[in-house]
């Protein structure tokens, strides 16, 4: 599976029933603390392997660092944060490369293993399935507020907790419950990724606005205009594919917010969705039913 399928990662068969899952993701800093930034970048890069149903096995650092203007300790702290997340994932950091650059960026390439019979694609949702989301929305809005120095510490801390959290447990549960499709919510926002899922499968995803979980304090930041440009770009780009309710414009904003290290968006049969939600509850894992899969309608996504 290569780029033509627009899935979360590439998949390459290496033997009977076994394949590699390959992905790479690099981001610019969205928090001040270097260790935390490294941890977020790694959780974000690992996520595409989890979204396919894979198990991360190796990772390599990719750093772009302004060595003339920043002390080297910052890079060391960033990489320590990345290593922390890679270890938690049970994977090995096996190398990397650093390039001098005027803008700091960090990310990882991640290789995972997957059983060819258990690849969870993003284009295989079926009408009748339920839609589950495993992290609340708002990381782009909070990062914008952090950069503007206009965020309450509690609000930033909550967003950082979500961004540093791995999607490993949710992915394990998704395999156990035989999900029909999955992707992770990242740069295109919830609606953008829902559109990709819907178009890939030839279905419509109906999202219940009131059910969509949003991080604490987000609506206040939206009211203050702390919305990233990428959020409006997503909204304008996906507008032709989205049927919207007459809800207040503000309430729709978080659904287009570009996420870093966002949750998994999973489709499952109604029975499997029930088991997923109850098992998630037992494990103290966040999971919310946000909508359902319908036979194709005029729009790929309907927000109701
Ligand atoms: Co992805
Ligand atoms: Co990615």
Q: Contact at 8 Å (CB) between 30 and 138?
A: no
Q: How far is CA 274 from CA 176, 211, 279, in A?
A: 13, 16, 9
Paired tokens of 304? 């109701």
The domain boundary, picked from 60, 82, 115, lies at 115
In the chain, alpha helices (H): 34-52, 72-88, 139-147, 153-164, 168-176, 189-201, 218-223, 229-238, 249-256, 270-283
Residue 178 and residue 59 in one domain = no
For range 273-292, the mean pLDDT: 98
Q: What is the pLDDT of residue 289?
A: 98
Containing structural domain, residue 23: 10-115
Distance 7 CA to ligand 2 centre (A): 9
- For residues 296 and 202, is the Cβ–Cβ distance under 8 A? yes
> What are the tokens at 39?
């941890």
* 157 and 293 assigned to the same domain: yes
Q: How far is the CA of 262 from the centre of ligand 1 (A)?
A: 9
Angle at 89 between CA 279 and CA 58, to 5 degrees: 140
Measured N-to-C along each axis, helices 168-176 and 270-283 cross at an angle, to the nearest 10 degrees, of: 140
Q: Is 274 helix (H, G, I), strand (E, B) or coil?
A: helix
Using CA atoms, how far apart are residues 82 and 107, in angstroms rounded to an integer? 8
CB-CB contact of 124 with 199 (8 Å):
no
24: CA distance to ligand 2 center in Å? 7
Q: Which ligand has its closest atom nearest to the C-alpha of 26? A: 2
Distance 247 CA to ligand 2 centre (A): 30
Last residue in a domain, options 61, 83, 115: 115
Q: Is the pLDDT of residue 245 over 90?
A: no
Confirm if 106 and 78 have CB atoms less than 8 A apart: yes
Residues with CB under 5 A from ligand 2 (ion): 25, 48
| Residue 3 reports pLDDT greater than 90 | no
Mean of pLDDT values over 268-280:
98
- The reported pLDDT for the residue numbered 47 is 98
Longest alpha-carbon distance in the chain: 57
- Kindly give the distance from the C-alpha atom of residue 76 to the centroid of ligand 2, in angstroms, as a whole number: 24
Distance 196 CA to ligand 1 centre (A): 11
Percent of the chain with pLDDT over 90: 95
pLDDT class for 249, splitting at 50, 70, 90?
confident
Q: How confident is the model at residue 246 (pLDDT cuts 50, 70, 90)?
A: confident
Nearest listed ligand to the Cα of residue 185 = 1
Q: Are residues 88 and 172 in the same domain?
A: no
When pLDDT is cut at 50, 70 and 90, the band that residue 247 belongs to is confident
What is the dihedral angle through the alpha carbons of 225, 226, 229, 231, rounded to the nearest 10 degrees? -90
Over residues 132-148, mean pLDDT: 97
CA of 239 to the centre of ligand 1 (A): 21
Cα of 79 to ligand 2 centre, how many Å?
19
Residues 23 and 106 in one domain: yes
Separation of 68 CA from ligand 1 center, angstroms?
Answer: 33
Ligand positioned closest to the Cα atom of 25: 2
User: Which residues neighbour 208 within 8 Å (Cβ) at sequence distance 6 or greater?
Assistant: 290, 291, 304
- Is 123 within a domain? no
**Whether 260 contacts 163, CB under 8 Å:** yes
Q: For the segment 77-86, what is each residue's pLDDT rounded down to a tens digit?
A: 999 999 999 9
pLDDT confidence band for 131 (50 / 70 / 90): very high
The reply to whether 184 and 44 lie within a common domain is no
* pLDDT tens digits for range 75-130: 999 999 999 999 999 999 999 999 999 999 999 999 999 999 999 999 999 999 99
Per the model's pLDDT, the better-predicted residue between 248 and 202 turns out to be: 202
243 C-alpha vs ligand 1 centroid, how far in Å?
Answer: 24
Nearest ligand to the CA of 110 is 2
Distance from the CA of 6 to the center of ligand 1, in angstroms?
9
Average pLDDT of 284-293? 98
Residues 164 and 274 in one domain: yes
What pLDDT is stored for residue 2 in this prediction? 83
Domain count, the chain: 2
Instruction: For residue 33, give the CATH number of its domain.
Output: 3.30.1330.10
Distance 14 CA to ligand 2 centre (A): 22
| 147 Cα to the center of ligand 1, angstroms | 24
In a domain, 161, yes or no: yes
> What number is the average pLDDT over the span 140-150?
96
Rounded to whole angstroms, how far apart are CA atoms 193 and 14?
A: 29
Closest CA to 156 of 165, 147, 167, 166: 147
The CATH number of the domain where 155 resides is what?
Answer: 3.90.650.10
Average pLDDT over residues 138-150: 96
Is there a contact between 9 and 51 (Cβ–Cβ < 8 Å)? yes
Q: Note residues around ion ligand 1 (Cβ under 5 angstroms).
A: 8, 48, 184
Using CB atoms within 10 Å of the CB of residue 33, give its burial: 0 to 12 exposed, 13 to 18 middle, 19+ buried: middle
Confidence label for 212 from pLDDT (cuts 50, 70 and 90) = very high
Residue 164 has pLDDT above 90, yes or no: yes
Per-residue pLDDT tens digits for 34-86: 999 999 999 999 999 999 999 999 999 999 999 999 999 999 999 999 999 99
């Amino acid at each position: 599976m290569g780029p033509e399928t627009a899935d979360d990662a590439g998949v390459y068969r290496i033997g009977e029933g076994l394949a590699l899952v390959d992905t790479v993701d690099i981001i610019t800093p969205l928090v001040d603390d270097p260790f935390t930034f490294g941890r977020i970048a790694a959780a974000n890069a690992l996520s595409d392997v989890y979204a396919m149903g894979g198990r991360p096995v190796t990772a390599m650092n990719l750093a772009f660092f302004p060595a003339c203007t920043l002390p080297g300790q910052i890079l060391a702290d960033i990489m320590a944060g990345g290593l922390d997340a890679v270890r938690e994932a049970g994977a090995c950091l096996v190398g990397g490369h650093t390039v001098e650059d005027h803008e700091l960026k960090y990310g990882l390439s991640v290789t995972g293993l997957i059983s060819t019979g258990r690849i969870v694609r993003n284009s295989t949702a079926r009408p009748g399935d339920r839609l589950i989301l495993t992290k609340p929305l708002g990381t782009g809005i909070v990062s914008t507020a952090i950069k503007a120095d206009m965020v309450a510490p509690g609000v930033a801390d909550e967003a950082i907790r979500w961004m540093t959290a791995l999607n490993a447990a949710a992915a394990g549960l998704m395999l156990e419950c035989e999900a029909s499709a999955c992707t992770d919510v990242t740069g295109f926002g919830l609606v953008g990724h829902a559109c990709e899922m819907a178009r890939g499968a030839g279905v419509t995803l109906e999202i219940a606005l009131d059910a969509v979980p949003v991080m604490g304090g987000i609506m206040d930041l939206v009211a203050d205009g702390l919305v990233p440009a990428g959020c409006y770009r997503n909204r304008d780009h996906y507008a032709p594919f989205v049927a919207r309710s007459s809800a207040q414009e503000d309430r729709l904003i978080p659904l287009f917010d570009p996420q870093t290290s966002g949750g998994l968006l999973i489709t499952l049969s109604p029975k499997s969705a029930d088991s997923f939600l109850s098992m998630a509850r037992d494990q103290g894992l966040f999971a919310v039913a946000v909508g359902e899969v319908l036979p194709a309608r005029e729009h790929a996504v309907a927000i109701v």
